[in-house]
Structure 1
Amino acid sequence: MKRLTAPLVHCALALGLLLAALGCGAPERERVTIMVPWSGTEFKAFYSVIEAFEKANPGIDVAPQVTRALTQQLDAAVAAEAPPDLAVLPSVGAIAKYRGGALRPLGVDTSSFVDPFRGLAMDDGKVYAVPVKADVKSLVWYDRRLTPKPAGTWSALQKRPETWCLGLESPGATSGWPGADWIADILLAQEGVDAYENWVSGDGVTWNSPPVREAWERWWSLVEGSESATEREFDEAAVELVRNRCSLGHGALSAMAFPADLMKDERYTYVLPSPRQALEVSADFVGKFTRDNPGADRLIAYLAGAKAQQTWVNEPGYALSANRQVTTYDNRTQARIAGMLRSGHTLCFSAADAMDPDVSAAFYRAVMEYVNGEDLTGLLKALDQVQQHLGDSPRPTPLCGTPNQA
């Protein structure tokens, strides 16, 4: 046995050396890091697109960095000069903050995207971010089997007896954002695009001006009695609508908790309380933060393309695409909402998303304090002071746009 074992050992060693030599000659896979804020269903939908990309590009390995505190972690990575190759930018305000600095220009054709999603460029005409999924936020949801169709204006909705689903708590530093979106939506519907743009830019419409104050007060008249909302997460409130513990909800389809089987028969549907035909929208964008990584360039071009976005919208999560070439949705309600992105509606990015991040953070805190009983006048004056202190901060261009109906 000893005489047989030695030759076997020699053979094993020789085989190992041969495999090692072959391994040294194998091409190295190119690594692309991308920082994302998604989890659960959203991450699964995103990762299905990444898997398709890796299959089509076998030499590239995509490494997602998942964080619920994306803004803070991205800020820290950029400050340490160790950013990811790509990162999701959850607002147009974040794009305005980074472009001209850490954000790199892209060689991506955005002509297939509808306005205002494709207009995120600097004065030099270069593109700095591409929208990978979009949302329409100006929707009032209800269960059509249990709740009569709501009225189509905010003033009429004030007179309805139904209860609203409301949760304001959110991971990270964004608690209050559902209220901020709602207040902005009311202002846009009541005052129109010009007043909305002037408020966001700080140009003539202050926080303590009558139109803005009235939007806050109208919002509170709808949800008054929901003080516990500051301790309830938004997704919990969405579940309460499904469980019939409240009757009306506000926000994007992707933020609701509607089961797919109940969406097929269009049991849950919506109205648009926007007589001015102006809608509040948002998007998640991807930007590039490193130089000289061809794999990152290929991935961001892929994510911007119709093939990837078509895959994404038909995964769970009810994402929408602002790419005009994406027209097929498995869910009929989702398809109708997506059609608004190619209609005659004027689309305006969420106010808080478009503001300087410090102003947005103050807006969110003010929402929480208002619900907890703080005086509205004092809160609005404090917000005016925050905006004035920041001075000429970067502004998203454009804030609103009306897509071609083609």
Structure 2
Amino acid sequence: MRFGARPALAVIVLAALALACGVPRDGGAQLHTAADCGPYAGYGRHPGTAVTVYAENRDREADLFEETWADFADCTGIDVRYEGDGEFEARIQLRVDGGSAPDVAFFPQPGLLERFARAGSLKPASAGVVALAKKGWSADWNSYATVDGTLYGTPLVANVKSFVWYSPRFFRDRGLSVPRTWSELMAVTEKVAASGVKPWCAGIESAEATGWPVTDWIEDVLLRQQGTAVYDQWVAHTIPFDDPRVIRAMDTVGSVLKEDRYANGGFGPARSMASISYQEAGTPILSGDCAMHRQASFYAGLWPKGTRIGPDKDVYAFLLPGTEPASRPVLGGGVFTAAFTDRPEVRAFQEYLASADFANARMRKGPFVSANKGVDPANAATPVDGLAIRLLQDPRTRFRFDGSDLMPASVGAGTFWKAAVDWIGGEETRQAAGSVERSWPSR
């Protein structure tokens, strides 16, 4: 029996399928069948093209993005070249000014996106992206990437910042209940402190972005104490940054984060948090050296390998409570895609990133939250991700975007962060808030 004919035929057929799907034949890419490429047919074929992507995500988080769009890239023929940079906020302007802007950038602050849009550097979203944006996100979410009535990008990642991580076992062993109001939260705080354990752990070091975890705390408390109207006025600077209501919120935060009896569990005195990276800040919960850590849903991906997440596991999270049990204020953040170039392959890539298909596929790879209406919470990689998605989809939730991310970049990613560090270090509240107010750019 001759074996040569059938293998030769198989090679021809597989090669034809590879060409049909836009798959390179260099042996480096996974070979797809025509059925595999079916979901990507609407994006067209763009063989021999490349799209550069610039973002702050690195390491495993970057790997998960690349794994998610690998099939899209293979089937469309687009070579997606990703670059993650921990100094994204500081270097993106240098890249643009130097004539080496990426095709697509993942902006962690709407204020930064707005700056490039107003400068004329970004390209307006295509009709296809606009249609997907209207279908996938609420008007509020789309407004964060809209400048003077023009949509420039779409949400890529969402996160719920108003979470308190804790050890269910620690709570259970000490007879503690998850607090439903701010007063109950303070009662738990005091009970833990009285037992000899510092109730809170925190870390605010983040290279050029050091200080942002403190600004999140202040925004969260202001939203709970004053509601959405005052919060919006503060972010828009229609009331001063150092308004008395803001001072009250800062002092409330200070009563926790600047109090040595309450912080910094597992690390040292309260001000030690200035030298603790935000990535490792919650780890003392696992050893029982602190009880609670306020941090966003994305922290699910930062726990040490092997940490189990769930209501009866190693760690879980509850919503930072408001004044009443039924109150559901949620502070959140996100990353937005926007393009510096306008080519067919760039538009195709943007449309894929704006689809619910991408969001659901990314969720299956590992911890990830999206505010896209087409996302199924059942695809969430962790129970906390599922909780975050349900909160974002709940019409009763009063969601507000991270204030520092909406403020002018020189303030939100500059003087506010710096003032937060100085304040944790001992600066008086009014002095710290006043320095930010004086730095606000005039228009």
User: What interval of TM-score do these two structures reach, taking the shorter chain for normalisation?
Assistant: 0.7 to 0.9
**Is residue 266–residue 333 contact of structure 1 (8 Å, CA) maintained in 2?**
no
Aligned length: 360
Q: In structure 2, what is the Cα distance between the partners aligned to 1:93 and 1:150?
A: 35
For 1:338, the aligned partner's letter is I
Matched, 1:90 2:124: no
The change in CA–CA distance for 1:124 and 1:207 in structure 2 (over 3 A counts) is: closer
Query: In the TM superposition, what is the alpha-carbon distance from 1:122 to its structure 2 partner?
Result: 4.2
**Is residue 309–residue 326 contact of structure 1 (8 Å, CA) maintained in 2?**
yes
Query: In the TM superposition, what is the alpha-carbon distance from 1:358 to its structure 2 partner?
Result: 0.8
**Is residue 277–residue 346 contact of structure 1 (8 Å, CA) maintained in 2?**
yes
Aligned to 1:151: 179
TM-score (normalised: structure 1): 0.84
**Is residue 53–residue 105 contact of structure 2 (8 Å, CA) maintained in 1?**
yes
**Is residue 120–residue 128 contact of structure 1 (8 Å, CA) maintained in 2?**
no
The change in CA–CA distance for 1:208 and 1:124 in structure 2 (over 3 A counts) is: closer
Aligned to 1:231: 275
For 1:355, the aligned partner's letter is M
**Is residue 146–residue 153 contact of structure 2 (8 Å, CA) maintained in 1?**
no
Q: In structure 2, what is the Cα distance between the partners aligned to 1:254 and 1:53?
A: 25
Q: In structure 2, what is the Cα distance between the partners aligned to 1:197 and 1:28?
A: 46
Cα deviation 1:88-142 (Å, max 9, x = unaligned): 1001111221223211111202022134212245466432111111001111121
SS in 1 for 2:284: helix
* Aligned residue runs from structure 1 range 239-278, under 5 A: 239-256=283-300, 257-258=302-303, 262-263=308-309, 266-267=312-313, 268-272=315-319, 273-274=321-322, 275=324, 276-278=327-329
Q: Which runs of 5+ in 1 are unaligned?
A: 1-22, 393-406
Matched, 1:348 2:417: no
SS in 1 for 2:52: strand
The change in CA–CA distance for 1:261 and 1:366 in structure 2 (over 3 A counts) is: closer
Aligned to 1:323: 372
Determine which structure has greater relative contact order: mean sequence separation of CA pairs < 8 Å that are 6+ residues apart, divided by chain length. 1
Cα deviation 1:211-245 (Å, max 9, x = unaligned): 11111111111122211000000111122223322
Aligned to 1:287: 338
Q: In structure 1, what is the Cα distance between the partners aligned to 2:426 and 2:383?
A: 41
For 2:331, the aligned partner's letter is E
Cα deviation 1:253-302 (Å, max 9, x = unaligned): 212434566125642333321344221011111100113x2111111110
**Is residue 145–residue 154 contact of structure 2 (8 Å, CA) maintained in 1?**
no
Matched, 1:185 2:220: yes
For 2:50, the aligned partner's letter is R
Aligned to 1:5: none
Aligned to 1:11: none
> Which of 194, 202, 206 matches 1:166?
202
Q: In structure 1, what is the Cα distance between the partners aligned to 2:341 and 2:439?
A: 32
Q: Kindly, what percent of the aligned residue pairs are identical? A: 24
TM-score (normalised: structure 2): 0.77
Aligned to 1:139: 163
SS in 1 for 2:170: coil
* Aligned residue runs from structure 1 range 201-212, under 5 A: 201-204=236-239, 206-212=240-246
**Is residue 110–residue 145 contact of structure 2 (8 Å, CA) maintained in 1?**
no
Q: In structure 1, what is the Cα distance between the partners aligned to 2:250 and 2:67?
A: 40
SS in 2 for 1:263: coil
Matched, 1:299 2:335: no
Query: In the TM superposition, what is the alpha-carbon distance from 1:303 to its structure 2 partner?
Result: 0.8
Query: In the TM superposition, what is the alpha-carbon distance from 1:65 to its structure 2 partner?
Result: 1.6
SS in 2 for 1:320: coil
Q: In structure 2, what is the Cα distance between the partners aligned to 1:363 and 1:252?
A: 19
**Is residue 202–residue 278 contact of structure 2 (8 Å, CA) maintained in 1?**
yes
Aligned to 2:73: 54
> Which of 362, 370, 377 matches 2:415?
362
Q: In structure 2, what is the Cα distance between the partners aligned to 1:81 and 1:321?
A: 32
Matched, 1:200 2:235: yes
The two structures, once aligned, show a CA RMSD in angstroms of: 2.0
Cα deviation 1:50-95 (Å, max 9, x = unaligned): 31221221x2111112211112221011112321000010011112
Aligned to 1:13: none
Query: In the TM superposition, what is the alpha-carbon distance from 1:314 to its structure 2 partner?
Result: 2.1
**Is residue 167–residue 230 contact of structure 1 (8 Å, CA) maintained in 2?**
yes
Aligned to 1:113: 137
More moved, 42-51 vs 352-361? 42-51
More moved, 39-48 vs 228-237? 39-48
Matched, 1:129 2:163: no
Q: Which runs of 5+ in 2 are unaligned?
A: 1-25, 27-45, 193-198, 261-269
Q: In structure 2, what is the Cα distance between the partners aligned to 1:186 and 1:62?
A: 41
For 1:282, the aligned partner's letter is G
SS in 2 for 1:310: helix
**Is residue 116–residue 347 contact of structure 1 (8 Å, CA) maintained in 2?**
no
SS in 1 for 2:81: strand
**Is residue 154–residue 186 contact of structure 1 (8 Å, CA) maintained in 2?**
no
